[in-house]
């Protein structure tokens, strides 16, 4: 039985809410850019698939390997892994950065 005023669905995480808010009728495109040897991209891909499943919205996930520095510059890779939703980096202020290259990237996340 759903709580009063509720849908009975489990509550969404803040990240799932951001995905849902950004979605359109055709869904989302999520890109994960990484370079070979990045120790974090596989865990991120797994976490992203779990998040997408909980959000319950159509999402196309593309995992893109960046092979060299020239490509990292062209793709505006701010480090590996880089996550973009509908072409926009998920980090606030990322559009103003210019420190592109083959390097590791760390995201701050709330402790659960």
- What pLDDT digit, counting tens, does each position of 32-74 carry? 999 999 988 999 999 898 988 898 888 999 999 999 999 999 9
The HSE-up count of residue 90 (CA atoms within 13 Å, CB side) is 21
* Averaged pLDDT, 22-37: 79
Nearest to 45 by CA among 31, 59, 57, 58: 31
Determine the structural domain holding residue 51 and report its residue range: 14-96
Total number of domains constituting the chain: 1
Query: What SS3 class is residue 94?
Result: helix
* Averaged pLDDT, 71-97: 96
Q: What residues does 104 pair with on adjacent strands?
A: 80
Residue 91 lies in a domain: yes
Bin 33: left if φ > 0, else alpha if -120 < ψ < 50, else beta.
beta
CA distance 86 to 20: 13
Task: Kindly report the CATH number assigned to the domain that includes residue 48.
Answer: 3.40.30.10
């Amino acid at each position: 039985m759903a709580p009063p005023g509720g849908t009975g669905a489990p509550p969404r995480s803040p990240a799932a809410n951001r995905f849902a808010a950004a979605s359109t009728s055709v869904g989302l495109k999520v890109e994960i850019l990484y370079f070979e040897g990045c120790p974090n991209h596989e865990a991120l891909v797994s976490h992203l698939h779990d998040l997408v499943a909980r959000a319950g919205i159509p999402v196309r996930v593309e995992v893109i390997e960046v092979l060299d520095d020239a490509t990292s510059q062209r793709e505006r890779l701010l480090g590996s892994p880089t996550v973009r939703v509908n072409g926009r980096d998920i980090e606030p202020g990322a559009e103003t950065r210019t420190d592109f290259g083959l390097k590791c990237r760390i995201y701050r996340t709330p402790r659960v």
